Structure formats: structure tokens, C-alpha cells
Amino acid sequence: MTRPHCLISGCRAPELAAFGIISKFRELFEMSDADLMRKFPADLLDDDRRAILEDFHVAKAYLELGLEIKFGCWQKLPWKLAAMAYWDVTVKAAGARYCIELWESSMAAGYTEDMHHPLSIRFLSAGGRLIQSVTALATAGIVDPLLEMEIARLKFIPVVERAPRVMIVKVIISCAFPCCA
């Protein structure tokens, strides 16, 4: 029996925005050389030990940079707004506080509203109709119906890359059926 296809299986924006996937990898990034070397035999030659440590440091740096490039956007506006769509009210409130901080710091740095994404303006602009609701969420954990309706849309932000999968399917089809390429 095949598993049914879920139409929103790739929509994990609230989780990515709420927790920042990079923080989940901190344990690996903070692993000390001594922690790593305890996993290997004590009679390991010094040259081998140095080679392993060097490779480990290069791999860690590469992984950290790749994750930052790939997932760093979820800690910036407008993507961070999706944290308010998380199911737990305390996480929603923390996301709202962080979004307000991001907005205010950008304004203090000289940004204007027209430099922001329309979604950020919709939720955080001083003249907007949602800023009072976002502030109530951030300060008291209160989610009014208007805000709930608006943040519900953020739950459906797709985060799965589908383009490579489509390209692979096209390659498979063109190899199997050259007349269709």
C-alpha cells in the first residue's frame, strides 16, 4: 500500500522560523577536539590524529556555512514572521517579540517602510492594522481572531525545494524515452 500524499507535507515554515535549525546543530559545532578524539583508539598515530582533526574542522566549517546560507533566512524578516504560526502560544509570542525587535532595529538603522517586504509591512508597520495585534501577542500572549486568520496563512509557506526533483524526473524520462526529451 502506498502512503497517501499530503498536500502540505513540505510546509514547515513555522518550525523553521520558530526554532532556527542552525541552533539544533550547535552541539556538533561546539564539539571539542578532545570529545572527537575520545571516539578513536588511544594508539592512533599523531599524524593520523592531526589529519582527522584537520578534516573535522574543515567539515564543520563547511557544514556551518552551508546551513547558515540555507537556513539563515528564517531568522530574518519576512520569513521570521512564520514563527507566529507555530502551535504553542509561548513560541508564537517569542517570535512576535523577535519580529518587532528586527523591525525596530531596521528602522533605527535608517531603513524605511518601503525597503521592507510587503508582508513585513502588513504585520509590523506602525500604520498597519495588525501591529496592535502583534504587540498584544508579544507582550501578553493574546492572539485575536484577525491575527489568527492572518498568521494561519503563514503555515502554508512551502519550504521544500521541488525544482531538483523535477529536473531528476526529466532526466530519467529523457534517458528512458529519448523521443520525449
* Digit-coded pLDDT (tens) for 15-38: 788 876 666 677 777 777 888 888
Q: Does residue 74 sit within a domain?
A: yes
Please write the tens of the pLDDT for every residue from 97-115.
999 999 999 999 999 999 9
Q: Does residue 2 sit within a domain?
A: no
Mean pLDDT for 68-77 is: 86
Run of H or E including 16 = helix 13-19
Give 169's pLDDT tier (boundaries 50, 70, 90). low
Q: Does residue 5 sit within a domain?
A: no
- pLDDT for res 148: 94
Mean pLDDT for 131-138 is: 96
Residue 43 pLDDT > 50: yes
Q: Does residue 6 sit within a domain?
A: no
How many domains are contained in the chain?
1
pTM: 0.69
